[in-house]
Amino acid sequence: MEYERPQFARLSRYADEADRDVIDTVSGNPDWEPPAALRDGLRASADGDPESFQYPPSEGLDALRAEIATRRNVPRERVIVTNGAGEANHLALAAALTEADGDEVLLTDPVYPYYPAKTELLGGTPRLLPTEPDGSLDLSRFRAAAGDDTTAILLNSPNNPTGAVYPPETIKATAELADDVGATLIVDEVYDHFDYTGRFESALTLDRDDVVVTTAFSKSMAITGLRVGYAVLPEPLLSHARTRHMLVNVTTSRPAQAAVLRALRETEPGYYAHNRELLRDRIGAFADALDDAGAEYTTPEGAFYVLARFDDFPGTTENAERLIDEAGVAAMPGATFGDARADWFRFALVTPRATEAAERLAAFF
């Protein structure tokens, strides 16, 4: 089972041990400030009475679920607060695989490598379908692949690693396809605050009761380490997801939940807009420098990753190590994300040195 974090960990270690300065564009950890209200929320937790250190309800603090439900315009009962988007996706896949016939999960190629690994852990069979060269979904491939064996279709939009933002009509058509074959559409929207097209719409706006949306505050609030996310689940999957959440984790860490609740309530839209603009600017500057490097690349519509391809230099682990040693840039090999982009590298622009990294690449190639 090959998944991102060990690969990430291996490359990070290699970069740390390199005998030179290396710019890390491997990890997807935001490098900006969390909301001030989030810090305030942690401080308030530190000062709480003893009862506030005890189990919150398994599905999440009542006030946090209510806040999420109001913002997303869904019944509170459909919201389960999870240990990040990681657990949200695990619960969604587990519920779909348990409640439906079939064991196949349709995924895109390139794919966030946790998805096939999570599917296999749960006894399911991942099936990767290549996207178009620009990262958009090839619906005809999904139509051809969907059938009795299909249990779930799992999409990520805005997408890691392609940066694609799937249009609402694509999500709608995929939901209808899932419905036709008795499968569940799961849409991981963890990058929803990083949409540069202005056209992103949550799958929740479809107002269908058979779609799962998973997400987290990890990226939008720059708190990957706090582990607070949630799933909005349709009624038939709720019971399994609730039971599994309780039997695996009991509940999500309470100070983290309380801090996110405070940040949700008190953070101005400007906080999110500022970071989105910061990333948009980085992407632009990075792309300009990639032009100088003669690279082929995708300009992301969302999220904060850039896929790039260099002539006669495929995205293998060996070449990723050469980039570290000879260019001073750590990037993720495209093969980590499936076959479709095995010739490419993924650059995560969550470092203030993103432009400098691209300039180093230009100098190297």
Query: Which one, 56 or 300, has the nearer CB to a copy of itself?
Result: 56
CB of 120 to a copy of itself, least distance (A): 9
Distance of CA 222 to the CA centre of its chain: 13
CB of 251 to a copy of itself, least distance (A): 7
CB of 62 to a copy of itself, least distance (A): 12
Helix, coil or strand: residue 307? strand
Give residues in contact with a copy of itself (CB under 8 A).
1, 3, 5, 9, 27, 29-34, 39-40, 42-43, 45-47, 50-58, 83-84, 86-87, 90, 114, 117-118, 121, 222-228, 243-244, 246-256, 259
CB of 21 to a copy of itself, least distance (A): 18
CB of 191 to a copy of itself, least distance (A): 16
Query: Which one, 114 or 310, has the nearer CB to a copy of itself?
Result: 114
CB 348 within 8 A of CB 112: no
Query: Which one, 253 or 317, has the nearer CB to a copy of itself?
Result: 253
Query: Which one, 15 or 295, has the nearer CB to a copy of itself?
Result: 15
Lay out the sheet containing 332-333: strands in order across: 296-297, 305-309, 344-348, 332-333
Query: Which one, 118 or 346, has the nearer CB to a copy of itself?
Result: 118
DSSP H helices, the chain, are 4-17, 36-46, 62-72, 84-99, 114-121, 139-145, 168-180, 235-249, 254-266, 269-292, 317-322, 354-364
Query: Which one, 28 or 163, has the nearer CB to a copy of itself?
Result: 28
- Residues 61, 67: Cα–Cα separation, whole Å: 10
E strand or H helix at 333, and its extent?
Answer: strand 332-333
User: Residue 166 burial (CB < 10 Å; 0-12/13-18/19+)?
Assistant: buried
- Residues 31, 222: Cα–Cα separation, whole Å: 7
Query: Which one, 1 or 270, has the nearer CB to a copy of itself?
Result: 1
CB of 48 to a copy of itself, least distance (A): 9
Query: Which one, 124 or 135, has the nearer CB to a copy of itself?
Result: 124
Q: Which tokens go with 184?
A: 């569940």
Lay out the sheet containing 150-156: strands in order across: 79-82, 229-232, 211-216, 184-188, 150-156, 104-109, 125-130
CB of 88 to a copy of itself, least distance (A): 11
Distance of CA 103 to the CA centre of its chain: 23
CB of 47 to a copy of itself, least distance (A): 7
- Residues 74, 96: Cα–Cα separation, whole Å: 20
| Count of residues in the chain | 365
